[in-house]
Amino acid sequence: MKKIINDPDEVVSEALAGMAQAHPDLITVRTKPDYVVRADAPVEGKVALVSGGGSGHEPLHGGFVGRGMLSAAAPGAVFTSPTPDQVLAATQAVDGGAGVLHIVKNYTGDVLNFETAAELAAAEDIEVRSVIVDDDVAVKDSTFTAGRRGVAGTVLVEKIAGAAAERGDSLDEVTAVAEKVVRQVRSMGVALTPCTVPHSGEPSFELGDDEIELGIGIHGEPGREKVKLQPADAIVETLLTAIVDDLPYAEGDQVLLFVNGMGGTPVIELYLAYNSARKFLSDKGIEVSRSLVGNYITSLEMQGMSITLLRLDEQLTELWDAPVSTIALRRDA
């Protein structure tokens, strides 16, 4: 394992300390328990948004804390969901009296810990709602699995619900728009290499030199199958076919196309894949009206990417276009 670290036990806390010093205008980092909170929290009278999950997916979630997006983020250990007391502390810190929405990726650990935290917050008279993001079409949505995972679509849920909260929508309205995004968003990913969790020091799975894993979650865990490496057009076609068929997205739909890097894939390849995706969608008569390309929800140094489509209407487009001021996503008014 070759990594720029000091002590595997201190990776998350030292990274948070760096983040706090680099961006004091946007965020504050609190410790014991650890969480990231927007610098001006709590914002009185507005709904607050709290998300979180394992570390190692940066910029998710701490990179999306700020005006117009998340109020706070609770980072767990690397690839491990945060604990309920972290989520509770973050929830208390951002509660401005209008309620708090928890945005939770559908992973067993995240769901259990957020559920526990929401119960604890309710006991302190904080009104908490939860929305579970499960946009990953690679996983069978059945009683035979833990259900679809929440992956890159989470970024879009956080942005759009964050914009609704920022303009002063009620907790009911913010929750409803978050749920609407969940209904309209689908993703699927591919891994070219595994990654190494600092604490274990070994690659988290194995892939041959000429193999790729289709349908990964955000830790490289599988969903569909291992296949031989293919050209970008073919990989994109496989991912987008599964995505488009699932909702389904239809001719005439307007979509946001999000090509997300898993951390180890150069941006040139992401734009190349974006080009392939535009061709594919154009052939289907699906119009791309908004785009996002880059490393937004990563898996340490894993090579790979995910593709996400969000079906847009006027409401979602307006909220997507609203100003946002976070470390990883900024848009001026």
Partner 1 sequence: MASCDAAATAAAVRQMAETIEQHHTELTHLDREIGDGDHGANLVRGFRAVVEKLDADEPGTPGAVLKLVATTLISTVGGASGPLFGTAFLRAATKVGDAETLDAAMVSDALSAAAEGVVARGKAAVGDKTMIDAFEPAVQAAQSAAEEGSVADVLEAAAAAAEQAASETAPLEARKGRASYLGERSVGHVDPGAQSTAYLLRSLATSASSAG
Q: Which stretch binds partner 1 (CB under 8 A): 78-86, 90-98, 160-168, 240-248?
A: 78-86
Q: Which stretch binds partner 1 (CB under 8 A): 60-68, 90-98, 143-151, 267-275?
A: 143-151
Nearer to partner 1, 110 or 158 (CB): 110
Least Å from the CB of residue 83 to partner 1: 5
Are 117 and 145 in contact by the 8 Å Cβ rule? The answer is no
Beta strands 211-214; 225-228: pairing state: antiparallel
Active site residue 57: yes
Are 126 and 92 in contact by the 8 Å Cβ rule? The answer is yes
Nearer to partner 1, 77 or 126 (CB): 77
Q: Which of 23, 105, 149, 186 binds partner 1 (CB under 8 A)?
A: 149
Active site residue 219: yes
Examine residue 77 and tell whether it contacts partner 1 (CB under 8 A). Answer: yes
Nearer to partner 1, 138 or 281 (CB): 138
Least Å from the CB of residue 221 to partner 1: 5
Q: Residue 32: is it exposed, middle or buried by C-beta count within 10 angstroms (0-12/13-18/19+)?
A: exposed
Examine residue 1 and tell whether it contacts partner 1 (CB under 8 A). Answer: no
Give the span between the Cα atoms of 310 and 333, in whole angstroms: 23
Least Å from the CB of residue 261 to partner 1: 20
Nearest CA to 294 out of 11, 19, 74, 59 is that of 59
How far CA 85 is from CA of 91, 98, 113, 116, in Å, comes to 10, 21, 9, 9
Are 113 and 83 in contact by the 8 Å Cβ rule? The answer is yes
> Helices (H), strands (E): how many in the chain?
8, 14
**Contact positions vs partner 1 (CB under 8 A):** 33, 54, 76-85, 107-109, 112-113, 115-116, 139-140, 143-146, 149, 197, 199-200, 202, 204-205, 217, 219, 221-223
List the catalytic residues.
Answer: 57, 219
